[in-house]
Structure 1
Amino acid sequence: MQDEARDDRERPLLSVRAALIFVTAMFLGTVVGTLTLACGSEIAQALLAAGTAAGATVPALNRIIGDATDS
């Protein structure tokens, strides 16, 4: 019983691949939001653009960054 609990604690919450996808999506969303704000748009518009860019990037990166089991 303790071995199972220890295995759950040592296992990472996200895989390296998933973390890379999410960090890259957040970075690109931040870039898009910053550029939108720099163009003179309102903060709400910049946040909406950043969220849209980050959300649209996740599925694209999921396809681009292949899984280690893909052959």
Structure 2
Amino acid sequence: MHPPRIYIATRPIDFRKGMDGLAAAIQAVLKLDPFCGAAFIFRSKRADRTVSICEAPAAPMASVSQLFRC
């Protein structure tokens, strides 16, 4: 079994692009297939939200997380 591959974006991305736009960014910038089995994590410009894209055994998944500041 291979260890999981996780890619974390260091620059913010516009979430209005949607999942198709994020998948296109993975292909254009990283030269990777978004369905290669790795997890990709993006952050918003204000760094208050993250989006992760990963492929589950049955179907691709995406989740949006809201980060809270104390």
* Structure having greater relative contact order (Cα 8 Å, sep ≥ 6): 1
Whose Rg is larger?
1
Question: Which TM-score applies when normalising by structure 1?
Answer: 0.25
Higher strand share: 2
TM-score, normalised to structure 2, is 0.25
